[in-house]
Each structure stands twice: as structure tokens, then as C-alpha cells.
């Protein structure tokens, strides 16, 4: 399946801190170990473990945040994550991250996001287009030769389920202020066993009323009432949907809400017991819009190419069908029409290889 790596791909569900390279995480942890801030050997064990329940994943995120949350590191990991995606021929990336506040190091949600933007601006190995079309001088066609990889990047600001309504609202207002630097929407994520839908709803509604796109982590644990309430909100996309029941599928399908599918993540966290019963198969058969994504390529030791290979092997997709599936992701992006058109051209110019 060597054809998967060069195939243009779209990534719509990637968390910044979950996509940190293991090598970077270990390097940063070693430095903190030397300073006596953490016990490196303990951290090394956690980082190198592959078997992770959902609960362990969230403990790992707390550890990652301890190691990564300063402005310089946020800038560095943003640069590395975008480069890594571009190098495996991801042509459009929606990168999500939770703006963080930490008074002890002078970090506000805004300064955290500015560090992310600085990371995007600092990339020189590949061409990055991250500002909204109206503000960029001109959008170029990525297929216009030169051999340099080019990636469109848009940002989603995540609300963590541990946050209050006020804090969630602060994130939404920040997103609105940062639209001119590529912020297109809001994500709701964080430990699904924590927090109530009603806490986040006012901020999410405000975001929607102000034309931000919304994607929700939904159905990662059995919570029928919340799943129905989330679907009634009509988000622009949902992620995971592992514990949806018949009535949820009916609603999702009738609203044509695209689903971000994260195969390795769902299997590793045991949200789905085995790949053969993954809802990918049913949604794909029903021609429901879906997008293959990584979730956290660092934490789950995967790549987007690997996720596509897994889908090909598990569900018997052919080369042409896989290409069509990747291309269909364009419609589910939160990008401006001009960018969607450019993405269409990129896929069209690659299509002779995949028919
Ligand atoms: P960050 O927002 O710090 O860049 O990325 C890590 C954060 O994304 C985690 O702390 C968590 O809130 C969220 N996240 C990452 N992976 C998952 C997942 O599989 N499910 C949920 N619900 N949240 C996740």
C-alpha cells in the first residue's frame, strides 16, 4: 500500500498536544528531569507505553501539558506537527488545540494562541497557508510545480470539558478575534466523563450564532441524553460516535452530519472492542459523509497514512475508492470556498494515479 503515502490527504481531527513527536516529548521530559521538576524514569515509562485506556489517555495529557505548556514549546510543537503532516502529503489540516491560561508563566489563552501562530509562521521546510482567503495576497495552486510540499492549515479552538461556561465563552470570543489568522471554529473535547452539556451550550450557541463552525466529541462513552442533545444542536461535524444507538444514527444521518473517524484511537482506548465492528463500515456503506483522521498521532503512535491503510485492510477498500473517500473530505472541511476549490484541483491533478 505504498500508494497511500503520496496520496493527497485531508486531516480534520488532530489535537496539537496529542500529535507531539515522542522524540520531542522525551527530550523535553529529560530536561525537566535534569532540573528535578519531574522524575524522568517514571515519565519515560508512561510515554513509551502503548496500551492506553481512555482514562489513561487523559492522565497522559495532563503529563504532556505539564511538559509542553510554555510559549516556546507550544511554538515548537506547532511547527513540528504541521511539518509532519505536510511531509506525509496532508494538503489540508484542521489543527485543534485548547487555549491555556497559566498565570505563573504569564500565559493567557491569547498568548498561548499567539505562540501557536508563531509556530505556523516559523515553518520554512514546507509552504503553509493559514490565513483566511480574504486576507492572503493570493491562494496558489499547490500543484504548480517546484516540488515543495504545501499545506493549508486552519485552526479550531477546543473547549475542555473541565471548563466553566465563562471560560468556554472566553475561548469562543478569542476564536472570533482570531478569525483573521486562520481560526475557523470550535471543538468540544476533554474527558467525556467530566462536565455537563448544559455548561458548554451557551458558549457553543454563541459561537454558532457568530458563524464559527462547531465540531463536538460525541458518544465516546455511553451517554444517550447527551448524544441526543448534541445532535439536536446540529453541529457541523462530530468526532468518534462510538456509543451511538439506532436513534442517534437515524438523527445523525437525517441531518447529514459528517463524522470524524479515528480508528486507532477508538481501538487503543477500547471505545470500540474490535475493528470488524467499527461503525466506519456501516457509515461508508450508507454513503454518509465521513473522514479518516488520526486524533492524536503522537499518543496513539500512528500517522494518517497508517489510518488509511488500516481502513483499506479492515474494510476492503480499493485504491480508487480510497482516493474518492479522501477527496470527499473537502466538503466536510471548514475552509473557505476558494480553498475548497484549490483542494479540488490538487485532488484532480493527482487522480490519474488512483483510477
Ligand atoms: P491540546 O488541546 O492540549 O492541544 O490537545 C490535547 C487535549 O485534546 C486533551 O487534553 C483533551 O482535552 C483533548 N483530546 C485529545 N484526544 C482526545 C480524545 O480522544 N477524546 C477527547 N474527548 N478529547 C481529546
Tell me, what DSSP letter sits at residue 259?
E
197-203 CB contacts, 8 Å cutoff, 24+ apart: 197/226, 197/229, 197/230, 199/163, 199/164, 199/165, 199/168, 200/159, 200/161, 200/163, 200/165, 200/168, 201/229, 201/233, 202/165, 202/168, 202/169, 203/159, 203/165, 203/168, 203/169, 203/171, 203/172
Does the CB atom of residue 171 touch ligand 1 within 6 A?
Answer: no
Does the CB atom of residue 17 touch ligand 1 within 6 A?
Answer: yes
Domain ranges of the chain: 9-354
15-24: average pLDDT:
95
Residue owning the nearest CA to atom 10 of ligand 1: 61
Q: Please give the grid coordinates belonging to residue 186.
A: 470550535
Cα(44) to centroid of ligand 1, in Å?
20
**Residue 191 alpha carbon, nearest atom of ligand 1:** 22
Tell me, what DSSP letter sits at residue 346?
H
Q: Please give the grid coordinates belonging to residue 268.
A: 487503543
Measured between alpha carbons, how far is 121 from 111 in angstroms, rounded to an integer? 15
Does the CB atom of residue 327 touch ligand 1 within 6 A?
Answer: no
Cα(15) to centroid of ligand 1, in Å?
6
Does the pLDDT value for residue 16 go beyond 50? yes
Residue pointed to by grid coordinates 488545540: 97
Helical pair 71-87 and 22-34, crossing angle rounded to 10 deg: 160
**Residue 217 alpha carbon, nearest atom of ligand 1:** 22
Active site residues: 220
Does the CB atom of residue 260 touch ligand 1 within 6 A?
Answer: no
Does the pLDDT value for residue 50 go beyond 90? no
Nearest Cα residue to 155 out of 15, 61, 47, 339: 15
User: Which residues does 55 contact at the CB level (< 8 Å), separation at least 6?
Assistant: none
Cα(38) to centroid of ligand 1, in Å?
22
Confidence grade of residue 146 (pLDDT, cut at 50, 70, 90): low
16-45: average pLDDT:
90
Does the CB atom of residue 18 touch ligand 1 within 6 A?
Answer: yes
Does the pLDDT value for residue 153 go beyond 90? yes
What's the whole-model pTM score?
A: 0.96
Confidence grade of residue 132 (pLDDT, cut at 50, 70, 90): low
User: Which residues does 51 contact at the CB level (< 8 Å), separation at least 6?
Assistant: 268
Inter-residue contact 109 to 99 (CB < 8 Å)? yes
162-168: average pLDDT:
98
Angle at 99 between CA 94 and CA 102, to 5 degrees: 155
Cα(238) to centroid of ligand 1, in Å?
14
Inter-residue contact 233 to 21 (CB < 8 Å)? no
**pLDDT digit string (tens) for 57-110?**
998 899 999 999 899 999 999 999 999 999 999 999 999 999 999 999 999 999
Nearest Cα residue to 339 out of 328, 348, 330, 350: 330
| pLDDT computed for residue 126 by the predictor | 94
Cα(218) to centroid of ligand 1, in Å?
13
Residue pointed to by grid coordinates 474490535: 274
Does the CB atom of residue 300 touch ligand 1 within 6 A?
Answer: no
Q: Please give the grid coordinates belonging to residue 192.
A: 467525556
Report ipTM (2 d.p.): 0.99
- Residue from 77, 115, 158, 160 to probe ligand 1 pocket by mutation (most atoms less than 8 Å from CB): 158
Write the CATH number of the domain with boundaries 9-354. 3.20.20.140
Nearest Cα residue to 150 out of 201, 89, 102: 89
Does the CB atom of residue 170 touch ligand 1 within 6 A?
Answer: no
User: Which residues does 112 contact at the CB level (< 8 Å), separation at least 6?
Assistant: 69, 71, 74, 99, 100, 101
Amino acid at each position: 500500500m505504498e500508494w497511500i503515502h503520496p496520496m493527497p490527504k485531508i486531516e480534520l481531527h488532530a489535537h496539537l498536544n496529542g500529535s507531539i513527536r515522542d522524540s520531542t516529548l522525551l527530550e523535553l521530559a529529560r530536561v525537566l528531569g535534569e532540573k528535578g521538576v519531574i522524575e524522568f524514569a517514571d515519565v519515560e515509562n508512561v510515554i513509551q507505553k502503548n496500551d492506553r485506556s481512555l482514562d489513561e489517555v487523559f492522565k497522559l495529557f495532563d503529563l504532556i501539558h505539564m511538559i509542553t505548556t510554555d510559549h516556546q514549546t507550544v511554538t515548537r510543537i506547532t511547527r513540528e506537527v504541521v511539518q509532519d503532516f505536510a511531509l506525509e502529503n496532508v494538503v489540508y489540516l484542521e489543527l485543534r488545540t485548547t487555549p491555556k491560561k497559566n498565570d505563573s508563566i504569564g500565559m493567557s489563552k491569547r498568548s498561548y494562541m499567539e505562540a501557536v501562530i508563531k509556530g505556523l509562521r516559523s515553518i520554512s521546510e514546507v509552504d503553509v497557508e493559514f490565513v483566511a482567503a480574504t486576507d492572503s495576497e493570493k491562494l496558489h495552486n499547490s500543484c504548480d510545480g517546484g516540488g515543495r510540499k504545501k499545506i493549508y492549515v486552519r485552526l479550531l479552538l477546543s473547549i475542555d470539558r473541565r471548563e466553566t461556561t465563562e471560560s468556554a465563552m472566553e475561548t469562543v470570543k478569542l476564536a472570533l478575534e482570531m478569525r483573521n489568522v486562520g481560526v475557523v471554529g470550535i471543538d468540544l473535547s476533554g474527558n467525556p466523563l467530566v462536565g455537563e452539556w448544559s455548561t458548554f451550550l451557551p458558549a457553543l450557541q454563541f459561537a454558532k450564532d457568530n458563524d464559527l463552525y462547531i465540531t463536538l466529541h460525541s458518544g465516546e462513552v455511553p451517554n444517550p441524553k447527551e448524544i441526543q442533545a448534541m445532535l439536536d444542536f446540529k453541529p457541523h461535524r462530530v468526532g468518534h460516535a462510538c456509543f451511538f444507538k439506532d436513534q442517534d444514527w437515524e438523527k445523525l444521518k437525517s441531518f447529514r452530519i459528517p463524522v470524524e473517524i479515528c480508528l486507532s484511537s477508538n481501538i487503543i482506548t477500547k471505545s470500540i472492542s474490535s475493528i470488524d465492528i467499527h461503525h466506519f463500515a456501516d457509515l461508508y456503506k450508507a454513503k454518509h459523509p465521513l473522514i479518516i483522521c488520526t486524533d492524536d498521532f503522537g499518543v496513539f503512535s500512528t500517522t494518517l497514512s497508517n489510518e488509511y491503510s488500516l481502513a483499506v485492510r479492515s474494510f476492503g477498500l480499493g485504491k480508487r475508492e480510497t482516493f474518492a473517500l479522501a477527496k470527499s473530505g473537502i466538503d466536510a472541511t471548514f475552509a473557505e470556498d476558494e480553498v475548497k476549490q484549490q483542494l479540488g484541483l490538487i485532488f484532480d491533478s493527482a487522480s490519474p494515479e488512483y483510477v
